């Protein structure tokens, strides 16, 4: 077991997850000094440092103890975790938190003109993918025998090149599939960015920093889609207005001096739309304000 007195988080050096991962850490109050080679960031506000690497290397680095945590797509973690777990010298991995960005799905897609009614239609096909383990698991679970063609990139052109019959790849908008005349027929995994770590947290000082980081992360994630709604209203209208707040919000009500009106405020989960505001106004609310919420400590 490695021991260190600073926590190390691996994250993607440059890619889709880089900016949102860094923004999340900034919201948790972490600031970093970037090394000259831009591969290491020294934590200035907490003993938490960053390693900037390729996303594919992150699960292995955590399993080897080079990093304690990582921001990585669930697709990458799930693809590698099983294989890494077979090596007794490596620490088993776990998804510690889902982070709510980098959303996508790992799906099977077939040429538009091909018939597909059930997984059995893939029997005997060559399926191109960068996720051979997840694909094989899914095929086995559906009792389908097909051959898996491992490709590291440009998976979606394989059917047109004739190197595969169908594919299994990440999809978000679906634009890339459509541009390649492919149609999504089955989803293997719903993915998003996750905080990955070891199944057992470090037993030394890093465990404390991990707890602190998780408390802050939870405070940020809990209010990520929340808004603070503030308004004035006659006391008798409060109940009706409270029912119109989105997301089962529990408002605080404060008397306004020298008047029968009250001030109401509530943290609402989910979108607060113009329709919500107009309905509350019709119920007697005035001076409505909607503000973003940055962090919360219960």
Please give the Cα distance from 65 to 51 (Å, whole number): 13
Please give the Cα distance from 69 to 50 (Å, whole number): 9
**Count of residues making up the chain:** 298
55 binds Zn ion, rule: CB under 5 A: yes
Please give the Cα distance from 95 to 189 (Å, whole number): 14
Say which entry of ligand PRT, Zn ion, none residue 73 contacts (CB below 5 to 8 A, set by partner kind): ligand PRT
Residue 55 CB, nearest approach to Zn ion (Å): 4
Residue 155 CB, nearest approach to Zn ion (Å): 13
121 binds Zn ion, rule: CB under 5 A: no
68 binds Zn ion, rule: CB under 5 A: no
Q: State the residues that interact with ligand PRT by CB under 6 A.
A: 12, 15-17, 54-56, 73, 75-76, 102, 104, 169-176, 191
Work out the burial of residue 168: count CB atoms within 10 Å of its CB; fewer than 13 is exposed, 13-18 middle, 19 or more buried.
buried
**47: closest CA among 68, 61, 66, 65?**
68
Say which entry of Zn ion, ligand PRT, none residue 17 contacts (CB below 5 to 8 A, set by partner kind): ligand PRT
Residue nearer to ligand PRT on the CB measure, 34 or 120: 34
56 binds Zn ion, rule: CB under 5 A: yes
Q: How far apart are the first and last CA of the chain?
A: 34
Residue nearer to ligand PRT on the CB measure, 174 or 234: 174
Residues near Zn ion (CB under 5 A) are: 55-56
């Amino acid at each position: 077991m490695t021991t260190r007195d600073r926590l190390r988080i691996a994250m993607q050096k440059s890619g889709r997850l880089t900016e949102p991962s860094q923004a999340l850490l900034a919201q948790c109050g972490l600031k970093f000094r970037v090394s000259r080679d831009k591969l290491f960031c020294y934590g200035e506000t907490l003993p938490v440092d960053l390693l900037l690497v390729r996303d594919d290397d992150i699960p292995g680095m955590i399993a080897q103890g080079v990093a304690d945590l990582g921001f990585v797509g669930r697709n990458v973690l799930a693809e590698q975790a099983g294989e890494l777990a077979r090596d007794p010298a490596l620490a088993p991995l776990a998804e510690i938190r889902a982070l709510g960005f980098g959303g996508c799905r790992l799906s099977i897609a077939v040429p538009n003109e091909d018939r597909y009614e059930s997984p059995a239609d893939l029997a005997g096909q060559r399926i191109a993918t960068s996720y051979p383990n997840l694909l094989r698991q899914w095929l086995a679970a559906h009792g389908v025998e097909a051959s898996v063609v491992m490709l590291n990139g440009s998976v979606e052109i394989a059917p047109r090149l004739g190197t595969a019959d169908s594919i299994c790849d990440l999809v978000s908008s679906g634009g890339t599939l459509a541009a390649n005349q492919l149609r999504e027929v089955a989803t293997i995994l719903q993915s998003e960015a996750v905080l990955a770590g070891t199944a057992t947290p470090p037993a030394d000082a890093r465990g404390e920093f991990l707890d602190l980081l998780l408390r802050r992360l939870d405070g940020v994630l809990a209010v990520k889609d929340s808004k603070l709604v503030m308004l004035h209203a006659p006391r008798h209208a409060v109940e009706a207005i409270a029912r119109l707040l989105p997301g089962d919000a529990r408002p605080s009500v404060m008397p306004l001096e020298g008047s029968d009106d009250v001030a109401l405020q509530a943290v609402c989960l989910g979108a607060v739309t113009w329709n919500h505001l107009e309905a509350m106004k019709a119920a007697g609310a005035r001076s409505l304000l909607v503000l973003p919420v940055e962090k919360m400590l219960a």
